[in-house]
A and B are shown apart, each in its own frame.
Chain A
C-alpha cells in the first residue's frame, strides 16, 4: 500500500515561522477588538454530533462535512461552523445566564471542498455572537465590532449591508412554491440576470415581479434605497428598507463613508438569516473576508427561542493580507549564547534564566567546548557569547 506518511491531507498545510507569527497577529488583533467590547471567549469541541448541524435552513450541505462515528455508531462531524455550536451552548448550558450573551470564538472550521480548486479544508475563523438581544442597538453594536475588528487588520475594506426581509417581502407577494422561490433566490444570489429573467418572464406581470427583477441590481450607495422604495411599496418592504437605512446612516457615521455599500440582492442563506446581513471585501482577496447577520430562528432548533446576531472573519484571508503587507512581529532571534564550561551546564541554564527574565532572548549552548560554541554563534548570527566558567 502506498504510504502517505510524508504529506498532509489535501486542503491542509503546515504553517511555518512568519506564517505562524502573522496568523497569531491576526488573531490577536481581532480578538482584542472583541474583548474590549465585552465579548467573552468560548471554545467548542473540534467534533460534534452531526445533529447539531442538520438544520436544513443553515445551508451546510452534508457533503461538505467531514464525518466519523463515535463508539456507539452515532454520526459525528468535524466542526464545519462555529455559530451553531455556540447557539447550542447558549440554548443549553448558558440558558439561565443573564442576557444578552456576548460570546466570541477563535477556532478553525473544517469543510470538504472539491479537490484542486485551491481552497483550504481547514479554515481559521474568528467572530462574535450577540445572543438574546434584537433591535437596532444590538445590530449596530455587532456591526461596529465587525468594523473595528477588521479595521485593526485590513483598514482598506468595503462593507455591504443587506436585509433578508426585503426578499421575503417580495416573495410573499408572488405566491410561488418553495422550489420556485429557491430558483429565484439562487439566481439573485449569483446575480444571474439571464436565469432570473427566464423565471420571471413566465410569471404574470406585477410590481413584485418587476421588483424581483431589479433585486440583483439593487446594490451601491444610498441611491439604492430610493430606487427600492419606488419598486416595492408594501408596508413590510417599507419597514425593512427604513430600518436598513437607519443602520446604513449609523454605520456611515462610524467613518466608513463611501466604503459602505448596500446590496439588497444579498440573499445568501436567506432562510437562515432573518434580518440584517453584511459582508466585507478587500482588494487583496477575491472573496468575502467577513460575513454575518441576524439569525433569530436558529436557537429554536436547540429548544430555546432567542434572537441572535453575529459575524465571522476569515482569519486565513486576514493572515494572508498581513503577510503580504509585512505586518507581523519579527521572528525573535537570540541575542546571547550562554555556554557553560565542563560541569557548568546547570549554572549556564541558571544564567540564561536570569537573562530571559530581563526579556533578553537567549540560547544555551549545546556544544562541548568554547571554540565550538563560538563557531556555532557565528554560524547562527548570535551577536554575543557568554561563558559560565568552570573550576579548572
Chain B
C-alpha cells in the first residue's frame, strides 16, 4: 500500500502538525532529524510527510501528488482552487484585517481608495462584498510601509498581535475574517482512500478537542 502523503507548510504549522501527529501516537523522529530531506516517513511508514511552502502545499494537493495538506486559511482564501477542506485544526490562529493610519475615517468620502496588500484576492473579495470600488496594489514585503509612504490609504494584511501596526501608527479598521490552519484533501484521494483518511481525520479531531 502506498503511504498516505501529507504536505505540511514549513515552519510553525509544520511544528504544530507534527505535535498533533505525535499525540496520535505516530513516530515523527524522521521529521525532527530531517536534515535536508523533504519527504519523510512518519509512523510505521503508513504516512509520508512532505515539507513545502504554503502555496505549494495547495498545488501538490490539487494535483493529487499529495493526498492531504496542512495550510493556513489565508493561503486558501488567496489561492482558491478545488480540493476538500476537511478540518479546522484550530492552531495558527490570526486574522485578516483592514488597517489604516490612526485616526482617519477610511469609509468617508467618495474618492476611490487605494489598498496595498500581499493578498490582492482577499482584498478584492472583501471590497466587492462591500460594493466598494478600490484600487488594489500588490506588495510583496512589509505592507505597513505603503500607507506610511503615501502609496495607499490602507492595507489588508494578516494581524496577530497588532504591535507592528501600532509601532507604525496604524490601527485596525475592520476585521476581514479569522484565520487558522486547515487540513485539505485531494478530491480523488478522499474517495479512493476514504477509510484511511477518515481514520486520521477522526484522530486529529480528537486531539484538537482534547487541546481545547
Contact = CB atoms under 8 A, between A and B. Distances in A.
A118 B63 CA distance: 9
A21 interface: no
Interface stretch (A86-94, A190-198, A347-355): A190-198
A285 B188 contact: yes
Interface in A48-98: none
B188 A286 contact: yes
B191 A190 contact: no
Interface in B107-138: none
Contacts of A191: 84-86, 185, 190
Contact of A117 (B59, B85, B87, B187): B59
Contacts of B65: 286
Interface in B54-78: 59, 62-65
A28 to B, nearest CB: 25
B188 A287 contact: yes
Given A192-B84, A194-B87, A195-B85, A158 B63 contact: no
Nearest to A160: B191
B61 to A, nearest CB: 8
B17 interface: no
Which bracket fits the contact residues of B? 20 to 34
B84 A194 contact: no
B88 to A, nearest CB: 4
B131 to A, nearest CB: 14
A193 B82 contact: no
A190 B187 CA distance: 9
A194 to B, nearest CB: 4
Contacts of B191: 158, 160, 219, 261, 263, 281
Contacts of A219: 191, 194
A261 B87 CA distance: 22
A280 to B, nearest CB: 9
Contacts of A281: 187-188, 191-192
B192 A288 contact: no
Nearest to B80: A114
Given A190-B82, A191-B190, A281-B192, A286 B87 contact: no
A169 B169 CA distance: 53
Nearest to B82: A190
7 contacts: A118-B59, A190-B82, A190-B85, A191-B85, A261-B191, A281-B192, A288-B187
Interface of A: 117-118, 158, 160, 190-195, 219-220, 261, 263, 281-283, 285-288
Given A281-B191, A287-B82, A287-B187, 8 more contacts: A117-B59, A194-B85, A194-B87, A194-B182, A220-B194, A282-B188, A283-B192, A288-B188
Across the A-B interface, the 9 shortest Cβ-Cβ residue pairs: A286-B64, A191-B84, A194-B88, A192-B85, A281-B188, A286-B63, A281-B191, A286-B188, A286-B186
